[in-house]
Amino acid sequence: MDIQGKNFIGYTLSAEGDHTFQSYIPASDSFLDDHFHRATESEVERTMALAESAFAEYAAVPAQSRAAFLIAITEEITALGDQLVERAHLETGLPIARLQGERARTINQLTQFSDLLREGSWVEASIDTALAERIPVPKPDMRKMLVPIGPVVVFGSSNFPFAYSVAGVDVGPALAAGNPVILKAHAAHPGVSDLTAQAIISAARKTNMPEGVFSMLYDDGFEVGAALVKHPVTQAVGFTGSFKGGMALHKLAQEREDPIPVYAEMGSVNPIVILPGYLEHNATELGKTLAASVSLGAGQFCTNPGLVFVTSSAGLDAFRGSYKNEIANTTSATMLTAGIYKNYNKLREEVFEQENVSKLVVSENVNAAGNQAQATIAEVSGSAFIANPKLHEEVFGPFSLLVICKDTEELLAAISHLKGQLTATLMADETEAASYPALVRQLAKISGRFIMNGVPTGVEVCPSMHHGGPFPATVDSKFTSVGRHSILRFVRPQSFQNWPDSLLPDELKNSNPLGILRLVNNMQTKDPVAI
């Protein structure tokens, strides 16, 4: 296996630092032999200088050429074949089939951004031609479009070694928009990161992208990431991880002389509300469906349902029985790292220690491999849930809290105590849902994606997907990290006033050489005011 174990800086390899770390194998609680070097201060500086230099050139690279670059990345990732998936399986403990699906999603994401670049309307080109005869003030020629913002720092995530990491949901749109990317590799899967970085750099070479368009640095601590966020060349940050980690980066970014945005996705408990009528008629099937969603991927998705709300009504006993039986027979699964496994057990025990919380079920099928998380369901009354904010927090792993409210009024009160979420789900038929407008409004208010009669796990990569949510699910609820609109995080609007057609960006020229959809507005504005 060709694992370099070094820092990628532009098109060169470097390993100046003495501090190294190894790939951890969670399933066997052991380490691989290769060593990865923590980036040094001089490597950080050289990386940022390359990115700054690359931006001037890469921002001017035609959209069609950037699209070809993205497709070349998908080809290089595909060419790695089983080597990439097998390395990911070793470093994460995730099943081969899951990783194959995630690799396909990663390729699909990059392909969608390539298509977006070729289609072109994403730049939101807007043209207001001059009206010299307008009274009382002549109207200037005004044209506007979205332009790249500059070098973007991205933090690879632990739970998605492909789709949210080196070539994932932050890197793809940042490169598509015309920004160089500096990737801080996640220490949980350095070998996977190494292979993927090689694929991106190979693609950059083959498509003649400027040196420094992509760099990757290693660190098994926090120093390198902090240095990258604070560096004056950095213009935005992409992060998926814990609330603590996301807020630490946000604080660093706001303390800069020139504050920059941190687009941080920081977790969610993804509440599911089951109304009484739907519970009564679907009790057994709901138990099976929710158990599968809670335990999917050892509960290591940002969309696993951590809270399920029901009322004391007909169907409750049948639902509890089905839910309990399904979880009891769920086979334990390997968690990504020893640290995540340890934290899962710690947080789970803290919930059990809370007053009025009971343990409904813990999965009985335990593998002999290391770091095995047992799926667990706890239970609490609606009133006890409302009184204890500790129960509102995420337990990252295959854990969910069943909240049994005495009636729908208490259920609404319980939901009203929740903060922002990536998702919220309502289980109800159309008539029953219409009978509880206040509950529907409250669930919509706290969620980025509002689901009806489905589970939150499974994030479709499409233009209508919003993967984000009100704080503290994300720092800024206006943006998504999935789908074509995620590119809006890494651009800014710029207007051009009275520029000759020959000097305008192609997207704004009268001839429209790219053939993109544009908003052309020649109407005279009412009551013009010079500002």
| Residue 531 in domain | no
Confidence of residue 521 (pLDDT cuts 50, 70, 90): confident
| E strand residue ranges, 391-490 | 399-405, 421-427, 447-452
User: Are 52 and 89 part of one and the same domain?
Assistant: yes
Q: What is the mean pLDDT of residues 7-30?
A: 83
pLDDT at 3: 54
Residue 523 has pLDDT above 80, yes or no: no
pLDDT tens per residue across span 79-134: 999 999 999 999 999 999 999 999 999 999 999 999 999 999 999 999 999 999 99
**Residue 74: enclosing H or E segment and its boundaries?**
helix 63-79
| Distance in angstroms (rounded) separating the CA atoms of residues 71 and 110 | 7
Q: How far is CA 317 from CA 312, 324, 406, in A?
A: 9, 10, 14
User: Are 168 and 294 part of one and the same domain?
Assistant: no
Confidence of residue 7 (pLDDT cuts 50, 70, 90): confident
> Catalytic: which of 91, 302, 394, 410?
302
Determine which of 167-171, 328-332, 449-453, 510-514 has the lowest per-residue pLDDT on average. 510-514
User: Are 74 and 193 part of one and the same domain?
Assistant: yes
User: Are 315 and 348 part of one and the same domain?
Assistant: yes
pLDDT tens per residue across span 471-519: 999 999 999 999 999 999 999 999 999 999 999 999 999 987 777 777 7
Residue 453 has pLDDT above 90, yes or no: yes
Residue 78 has pLDDT above 80, yes or no: yes
DSSP-derived secondary structure letter, 445:
H
User: Are 88 and 183 part of one and the same domain?
Assistant: yes
Residue 531 has pLDDT above 50, yes or no: no
Residue 327 has pLDDT above 50, yes or no: yes
Q: What is the mean pLDDT of residues 177-196?
A: 97
pLDDT at 515: 73
pLDDT at 519: 77
* Sole residue written with tokens 């640290």: 339
State yes or no: is 255 an active-site residue.
no
User: Are 287 and 258 part of one and the same domain?
Assistant: no
> Catalytic: which of 76, 265, 394, 410?
265
Q: What is the mean pLDDT of residues 324-337?
A: 96
User: Are 255 and 277 part of one and the same domain?
Assistant: no
User: Are 256 and 279 part of one and the same domain?
Assistant: no
Which CATH number do you get for residue 52? 3.40.605.10
pLDDT tens per residue across span 295-318: 999 999 999 999 999 999 999 999
In the chain, the number of structural domains is 2
User: Are 99 and 206 part of one and the same domain?
Assistant: yes
Q: Work out the burial of residue 232: count CB atoms within 10 Å of its CB; fewer than 13 is exposed, 13-18 middle, 19 or more buried.
A: exposed
Query: DSSP string covering 366-410, please?
Result: --SSSSEEPPEEEEEEHHHHHH-GGGGS---SSEEEEEEESSHHH
User: Are 168 and 75 part of one and the same domain?
Assistant: yes
Tokens of 178: 């015309």
Query: Which residues are CB-contacts of 173 (< 8 A; sequence separation ≥ 6)?
Result: 113, 486, 487, 489, 490
The domain boundary, picked from 435, 452, 469, lies at: 452
**Cβ distance 224 to 242 under 8 Å?**
no
pLDDT at 464: 95
* Sole residue written with tokens 């070793």: 90
User: Are 213 and 320 part of one and the same domain?
Assistant: no
pLDDT at 345: 97
Q: What is the pTM of this model?
A: 0.94
pLDDT tens per residue across span 263-272: 999 989 999 9
| Residue 459 in domain | no
* 523 or 97, which is more confident: 97
State yes or no: is 265 an active-site residue.
yes
Confidence of residue 527 (pLDDT cuts 50, 70, 90): very low
Q: What is the mean pLDDT of residues 278-299?
A: 97
Q: Which residue type, as a one-letter code, is found at position 413? A: A
Q: What percent of the chain has pLDDT over 90?
A: 91
Confidence of residue 219 (pLDDT cuts 50, 70, 90): very high
Q: How far is CA 335 from CA 86, 193, 340, 350, 496, in A?
A: 17, 19, 7, 19, 52
Tokens of 453: 């009669």
| Residue 345 in domain | yes
pLDDT at 248: 97
| Distance in angstroms (rounded) separating the CA atoms of residues 159 and 195 | 17
Q: What is the mean pLDDT of residues 440-462?
A: 97
| Residue 169 in domain | yes
pLDDT at 524: 45
Residue 223 has pLDDT above 90, yes or no: yes
Burial 10-23 (b: 16+ CB within 10 A, else e): bbeebbebeeebbb
Range of the domain at 238: 8-13+28-119+139-266+481-489
Cα torsion at 247, 248, 254, 255 (round to 10°)?
150
- The count of other CB atoms within 10 Å of the CB of residue 102 is 21
The domain boundary, picked from 452, 467, 498, lies at: 452
Q: Among candidates 323, 338, 412, 311, which has minimal Cα distance to 375?
A: 323
Cα torsion at 58, 62, 67, 72 (round to 10°)?
-60
Confidence of residue 526 (pLDDT cuts 50, 70, 90): very low
Tokens of 33: 């032999």
Residue 13 has pLDDT above 70, yes or no: no
| Distance in angstroms (rounded) separating the CA atoms of residues 492 and 478 | 14
Question: How confident is the prediction for the chain on average, in pLDDT?
Answer: 94
User: Are 179 and 66 part of one and the same domain?
Assistant: yes
pLDDT at 281: 97
| Residue 22 in domain | no
| Residue 383 in domain | yes
Which CATH number do you get for residue 399? 3.40.309.10
pLDDT at 297: 94
Burial 435-461 (b: 16+ CB within 10 A, else e): ebeebbebbeebbbbbbebebbbebeb
pLDDT at 529: 45
| Distance in angstroms (rounded) separating the CA atoms of residues 374 and 98 | 19
Tokens of 212: 């420094």
